[in-house]
Amino acid sequence: MSYTAPVKDMMYAMERLAGLQTVAALPGMADFDRDTTQAVLDESAKFCQDVVAPLNWKGDQQPSHWEDGKVTTTPGFKEAFAQFAQGGWQGVIHPAEFGGQGMPKLIATACSEMLQASSLSFALCPMLTDGAIEALLTAGSDELKATFLEKLVSGEWTGTMNLTEPQAGSDLAAVRSRAEPQSDGTYKVFGTKIYITYGEHDMAENIVHLVLARVPGAPEGVKGISLFVCPKYLVNADGSLGARNDAYCVSIEHKLGIKASPTAVLQFGDHGGAVSYLVGEENRGLEYMFIMMNAARFAVGVQGIGIADRAYQKAVSYARDRVQSRDLAGSVAPVTIIHHPDVKRMLLNMRAHVEGARALAYVAAAASDMAHHAPDEAQRKQQQAIYDYLVPVVKGFSTEMSIQVASLGVQVHGGMGFIEETGAAQHYRDARILTIYEGTTAIQANDIVGRKTVRDGGAVAKSLCAQVAMTEEDLALHTELDCAAMLKSLRKGREAMERTIDHIVAHTKTNPQAVYAGAVNYLQLVGVVLCGWQMARAMMASLDLLEEDPAFHAAKVVTARFYADAVLPTASGLAQSVISGGETIAHAPVAMF
């Protein structure tokens, strides 16, 4: 059940692939050099391994429970969250002005991955709080910031996102919750919200709900939605907690996984109206909420990487210990199953996907740091565009990957993997939600097609392909056979991605049904190629560093070679499925199902 944070591989990805040194050279980032980063990751690892990870199994066996409107979390969660807050971990990425540490997103992403791997259920609470903080930082008034941000950044209070309603699902245009303006400038919110992560719990003294609702006379659809802050307890002028607000948890869901995370149904306004405060301007709520959603989508992608790595670690541990059958070389005695070719295939598959997705997420995080802190405006815009393009890939590809990897983890365990007590099944069940919340894979795919590829004529996507092509040039300068194999596979993958981009740009307006039918496969294709790009860069870096740490760097080369041989070749098939397969899906008659 144990977890070991892969600090060494994280530092490698940050230094060799994501450009930690470049990030540390940005204005305001000088304090976060390599030594500081190493120290932060080491401390994060201690907390996650020693405090949070041991609670993961308990959370599955003794999940949060609801009684008379109150939620009691898993034994140990409240105490662990207090340590999390006291350690300053909630404020890692947030501004020092509000009590945070102002670290780069690159460092925060590694810390987040550790926390997610330790316990998805536990990590969801601070993850949603991060989103609430980002929304208030961007769109909140000075008064709202002064009232709520310091307590949220410190971890004394937590935050939620309230989007979904019973009749609306992912269609936010169908939101019906209403907000009635009051004479004192506040609003009273009425309505029901479902699937509210940590909408009620006992780990913090106040919960700050960010709620979508409509004001009287608002336009129909998404253009008529406003965003409100609705705290569980009202806040007095001196910052102390006041009266209980009219926002109550009426039940929590019983789920397949992440059972320790309370998923609440919240009822607003049954006793006269939930006092709320407008964020920004009326009818611009969806715009502001997307700030939370984008932060959350990237974070969910990191969840996928974390849970996949934990499933991989568990599978490796089991494979090293489980003795079964003689090996194919004809050993006299049975061997541990890690010697069997198919088990090695599965473990390499798991490892390669985790390392590729981790590297791509860290590269995306560094792009976000550049977008916020680079001194040159043109560079900031360019890096923001790259980050925006990569967010749905990190979210969609990494979460789909996590299910595949967790499933392989069960397979490595064989029949024991299907037994709950081994713990492999929990990772599989926990991972299954990741492709659904904060926007399903199809929603991420529609985003990368419509907003991120078609809107700019494929410019950003092609700029990434150009960077991949530059890596191909570097590979060609290496004489090693591994680099030759990687060059061949990466070039074919990049060419497949370019063909697909051209097809999408050319046909989305004339044949949208067919193009969007292939959207998920396009997202998968981009993920395969761009993770392969990072694996190629890792291969070259480790070949150059082989003598410094032979075991570590040799493993990096073998893992990258496996990616070149077994994963990158799927890019051509994914491209073909987008270019040709969408037409079949689009014209399949509904009556046949």
Residue listed under structure tokens 């890596």: 471
Give the Cβ contact number of residue 394 at 10 Å.
Answer: 29
Residue closest to 471 by CA, chosen among 527, 541, 528, 522: 541
- CB contact at 8 A, 504 and 449: yes
Asked if 438 is an active-site residue, the reply is yes
Distance (Å, rounded) from C-alpha 146 to C-alpha 239?
9
For 466, what's the count of Cα atoms within 13 Å in the CB-facing half-sphere? 7
Contacts of 221 (CB under 8 A, 6+ apart): 173
Residues of the chain by 3-state class (helix, strand, coil), percent to 5 = 60, 10, 25
For 516, what's the count of Cα atoms within 13 Å in the CB-facing half-sphere? 13
Q: How far is the first Cα of the chain from the last one, in angstroms, to the nearest whole number?
A: 43
Write out the two tokens for 232.
């569980």
Give the Cβ contact number of residue 378 at 10 Å.
Answer: 8
CB burial of residue 434 (10 Å; 0-12, 13-18, 19+): buried
Is the C-alpha dihedral spanning 494, 499, 502, 507 positive or negative?
Answer: negative
Is the C-alpha dihedral spanning 214, 215, 216, 220 positive or negative?
Answer: negative
**Among residues 113, 400, 438, 498, which one is catalytic?**
438
Distance (Å, rounded) from C-alpha 312 to C-alpha 411?
11
For 65, what's the count of Cα atoms within 13 Å in the CB-facing half-sphere? 6
Distance (Å, rounded) from C-alpha 105 to C-alpha 391?
13
Q: Directed axis angle between helix 377-413 and helix 441-449, to 10°?
A: 150
In terms of phi and psi (left: phi > 0; alpha: psi -120 to 50; beta: otherwise), the region of 209 is beta
- CB contact at 8 A, 18 and 363: yes
Q: What is the DSSP string of 499-548?
A: HHHHHHHHHTTT-HHHHHHTHHHHHHHHHHHHHHHHHHHHHHHHHHTTTT
With b meaning 16 or more CB within 10 Å and e meaning fewer, what string describes 286-307? bbbbebbbbbbbbbbbbbbbbb
Active site residues: 438
